[in-house]
Amino acid sequence: MIQAPARRIPDEARMGFLPQEIIRKKRDGAALTEEEIFFLIEGLTRGRVTEGQAAAFAMAVFFRGMGLDERVALTEAMMRSGEVLQWDLPGPVLDKHSTGGVGDTVSLALAPAVAACGGYVPMISGRGLGHTGGTLDKLDAIPGYVSQPDADTFRAVTRNVGCAIIGQTGDLAPADKRLYAIRDVTATVESIPLITASILSKKLAAGLQGLVMDVKVGSGAFMASLEEAQSLAKSLVTVANRAGLPTSALLTDMDAPLASAAGNAVEVAYAVDYLTGRRREPRFHEVTVRLGAEMLFLGRIVASVADGRARMEEAIASGRAAERFGMMVAALGGPADFVEASERHLARAPVVRAVHAHRTGFVTSVDTRTVGVAVIALGGGRTRAEDVIDHAVGLTNLAGPGEEVGPGRPLAIVHARDEGTADAAEAALRRAYVIGQDKPAGRGIILERMAERVA
């Protein structure tokens, strides 16, 4: 790893800047210069800009927005606030980022599949946020797995296995960590320019050569409407490409859980079942393969997205992706036989209960957010930062839209620590599901693709 070269602001220019005047300028709707943005972010990183000033800046951006040049400058300033990874590998360094969903355990299957196709995936993931699950919380369900290894281990596993899924260190984009904490308590999280800079600064700092964004849309997503998701995806793709990172985006449906499992250990078990061929649900498979195809195309491993899809299908069907996943788990401290015997290693909840609908019919809609909140209430997520997650709890066999439910097919199976939390989860599931007599028309999981060709 290397320290990113600092954005040099001439001393005479720095002497002319005042944080409050830059904030005033943005408050009044004017565009900030690259130097002004770098000054603010450098000041936030080094303590010369106070939390109150950073909060005022975030609020000004929330209401006044940012143009493309400002978004690029903010992203690059936050990226350069800490270390930037450099890689010397025989293949392209690729990654994906999801804006968050329920039952979204794609990373666990996608990273090893892309690695099996010749890409290198140093995936830096996060904890759960709100009602959505976090990849690191899932990996922590694997006994012995070190989700925050030292830099040498991270680099070695990436090189030797082809993929390593770990947590963000404090050295990557520290300005983003500070600004996000301020946004989180000042009602300024839902700002597309700030979301864009937050996501991309970390990805740029990871030294990537290609990035695919999975922008979720629907009741279980942070962007509930298609228009909001399109705006975010366009911002991410445009800013990333302007900053020199080839990026495309897929808008994917989150009006139902992506997988039929939601939780931590249960989602890890689901990923193992998927990779080994014991269970391959169409929605989950389609998103995994399409995201991987985009990554292989951006990395120039294949000549087209269609070629990438074929390569991904083969890597998964042949078992090579499952082999890479097992290698990654073992290299990061987990059991050497995890893929072969995951049920022996993963914790199990003592209360397992099937929840049936009150009447037979078809699932016409699912309030996916309510499903995600039910997992948190079981203990599978956090309501406070200091909460300890119960990795064993969760939901499995979740019915999807269009499925017929009745005596032989429950809405879901609850995995709980006690009868009381199981009762609460059962009640939440009944609120989340709408059952009708007619089977609804299906819709594709991939709603739209956004890309920008860079010369």
- Catalytic positions: 95-98, 135, 183, 198, 202-203
Rounded Cα distance, 100 and 229, in Å: 12
d(CA 222, CA 346): 30
Nearest to 364 by CA among 447, 446, 437, 284: 437
Other beta carbons within 10 Å of 160: 11
Label each residue of 161-195 as H, E or C.
Answer: HCEEEEECCCCCCHHHHHHHHHHHCCCCCCCHHHH
Taking the C-alpha atoms of residue 101 and residue 213, their distance in angstroms, rounded to an integer, is 13
d(CA 46, CA 181): 16
The CA-atom distances, in angstroms, between 328 and each of 116, 145, 179, 337, 425 are: 12, 9, 32, 12, 34
Radius of gyration of the chain (CA): 22
Q: Of 286, 355, 377, 278, whose CA–CA distance to 322 is shortest?
A: 278
**Distance of CA 272 to CAs 119, 323, 354, 407, 444, Å?**
21, 10, 22, 28, 25
Q: Which two tokens stand for residue 309?
A: 């899809």
Q: Alpha helices, DSSP H only, in 335-394?
A: 342-345, 368-375
Cα 370 → chain centroid: 19
In the chain, the amino acid numbered 61 is V
Largest CA distance in the chain: 76
159 phi and psi, to 5 degrees? -70, -45
Alpha-carbon span 331 to 164, nearest angstrom: 9
What is the four-CA torsion angle of 371, 194, 211, 137, rounded to 10 degrees? -40
